[in-house]
């Protein structure tokens, strides 16, 4: 896919963060869009920004809980009607939330909410839109995993099972699709995106999707997460789109993602030991010395 011009893309989780940045950059490249999110006011802001920056682009907005198959089917039908099409060229399964990481002390309902958004959102989206991708002359499926798709941890003091399990599933599913698509739909490609720490609003948005209410403490925590990130959402989206155009199946996003990937591969047995973080910092310093 050398150009995004005049293509049709569906982007989930488009109300904020990487989803919003993907939408703006795709539109700037001439791509028509159907954007979905479960937080309506943030989705409306994204659509307003896209229309202001790229007035010649056709963009539609759709409320969709990606964990719900019925809502995916409605989204597919609405996209086909809005764009008067039987195909799409790009599906970005980008939506995700965090939270409730312990199998032992956290509530099952909230644990499964995190898992179902992050995993079922990708699986159901692929199931629903694959016929439309296959109907295009060239198409690509882009699934967002995470560095937590190959390292199931936030460190030795934090349980992180729901999000990590989902992101491992997304990575494995996407890798398995490489062969499945090559055999059965060779004109459709797949990419799995594995970002490190990106400056997004996932912390605050996750509270809302879990049915909670934000307060000053949560807002401050979310701002710290966003502002301390070594890479912005705009920078991350640029890396992702370059990888898609380069037909890369594996897109690591951020220097921290590259370093962590190398460190886990180099010593997987030690990846969950308490001092792994210290050795990771040393590994990063060694990379800098070698340059």
Q: Give strand pairing partners of 232.
A: 199
Dihedral of CA atoms 59, 242, 130, 127 in degrees, nearest 10, equals: -100
- Under a CB-based contact definition with an 8 Å cutoff, are residues 254 and 195 in contact? yes
Lowest mean pLDDT of 6-15, 19-28, 118-127, 212-221, name the range.
Answer: 212-221
Answer with the residue of higher pLDDT: 94 or 274.
Answer: 94
For residues 110-130, average pLDDT? 97
> Please, which pLDDT band fits residue 286 given cuts at 50, 70 and 90?
low
For residues 21-29, average pLDDT? 98
> Please, which pLDDT band fits residue 2 given cuts at 50, 70 and 90?
confident
Q: For the chain, what percent of residues have pLDDT higher than 70?
A: 92
Structure tokens at 18: 């990487």
Give just the sign of the alpha carbon dihedral 279, 274, 200, 43.
positive
Segment 167-218, tens digit of pLDDT: 999 999 999 999 999 999 999 999 999 999 998 877 667 766 777 766 677 6
Element (H, E) at 199: strand 198-199
pLDDT for 62:
98
- Under a CB-based contact definition with an 8 Å cutoff, are residues 215 and 157 in contact? no
Segment 211-227, tens digit of pLDDT: 776 667 767 767 787 78
Instruction: Examine the pLDDT at 288 and tell me if it is beyond 50.
Output: no
Segment 247-269, tens digit of pLDDT: 999 999 999 999 999 999 999 99
Instruction: Examine the pLDDT at 94 and tell me if it is beyond 70.
Output: yes
pLDDT for 124:
98
SS3 label, residue 90: strand
- Under a CB-based contact definition with an 8 Å cutoff, are residues 184 and 136 in contact? no
Compute the distance between CA of residue 13 and CA of residue 15 in angstroms, rounded to an integer: 6
- Sequence-ordered strand ranges (E) for the chain: 8-12, 32-37, 59-63, 90-93, 139-144, 188-195, 198-199, 231-232, 250-253
Close Cβ partners of 255 (under 8 Å, ≥ 6 residues apart): 196, 230, 231
b/e per residue, 36-73, with b = 16+ CB within 10 A? bbbbeebbeebbeebeeebeebebbbbebbbbbeebbe
Instruction: Examine the pLDDT at 291 and tell me if it is beyond 60.
Output: no
- Under a CB-based contact definition with an 8 Å cutoff, are residues 149 and 199 in contact? no
Give just the sign of the alpha carbon dihedral 252, 66, 14, 17.
negative
pLDDT for 287:
47
Residue 123 falls in the annotated catalytic set: no
Element (H, E) at 194: strand 188-195
SS3 label, residue 94: coil
- Residue 186 has what DSSP assignment? T
4, 150, 151, 163: which is the annotated catalytic residue?
163
Q: For the chain, what percent of residues have pLDDT higher than 90?
A: 79
pLDDT for 282:
66
Tell the residue number behind the tokens 């897109």, with chain if given.
Answer: 251
Compute the distance between CA of residue 244 and CA of residue 3 in angstroms, rounded to an integer: 10
- Under a CB-based contact definition with an 8 Å cutoff, are residues 85 and 119 in contact? no
Ordered domains of the chain (ranges, CATH): 8-253 (3.40.50.720), 255-291 (no CATH)
């Amino acid at each position: 896919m050398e150009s995004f011009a005049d293509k049709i893309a569906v982007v989930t989780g488009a109300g904020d963060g990487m989803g919003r940045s993907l939408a703006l950059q795709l539109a700037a490249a001439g791509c028509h869009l159907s954007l979905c999110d479960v937080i309506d006011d943030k989705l409306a802001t994204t659509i307003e920004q896209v229309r202001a920056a790229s007035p010649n682009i056709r963009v539609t907005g759709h409320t969709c809980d990606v964990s719900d198959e019925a809502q995916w089917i409605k989204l597919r039908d609405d996209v086909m009607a809005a764009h008067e099409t039987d195909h799409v060229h790009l599906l970005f399964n980008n939506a995700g939330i965090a939270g409730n990481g312990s199998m032992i002390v956290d509530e099952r309902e909230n644990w499964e909410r995190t898992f179902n958004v992050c995993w079922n959102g990708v699986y159901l989206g692929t199931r629903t839109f694959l016929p439309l991708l296959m109907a295009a002359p060239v198409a690509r499926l882009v699934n967002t995993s995470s560095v937590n798709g190959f390292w199931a941890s936030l460190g030795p003091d934090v349980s992180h099972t729901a999000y990590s399990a989902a992101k491992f599933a997304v990575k494995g599913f996407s890798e398995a699709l490489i062969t499945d698509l090559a055999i059965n739909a060779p004109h459709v490609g797949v990419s799995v995106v594995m970002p490190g720490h990106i400056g997004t609003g996932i912390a605050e948005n996750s509270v809302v999707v879990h049915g909670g209410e934000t307060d000053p403490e949560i807002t401050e925590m979310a701002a710290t997460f966003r502002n301390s990130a070594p890479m912005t959402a705009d920078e991350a989206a640029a890396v992702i789109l370059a990888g898609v155009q380069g037909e890369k199946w594996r897109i690591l996003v951020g220097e921290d993602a590259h370093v962590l990937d190398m460190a886990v591969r180099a010593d997987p047995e030690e990846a969950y030991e308490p001092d792994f973080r210290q050795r990771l910092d040393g590994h990063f310093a060694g990379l800098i010395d070698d340059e």
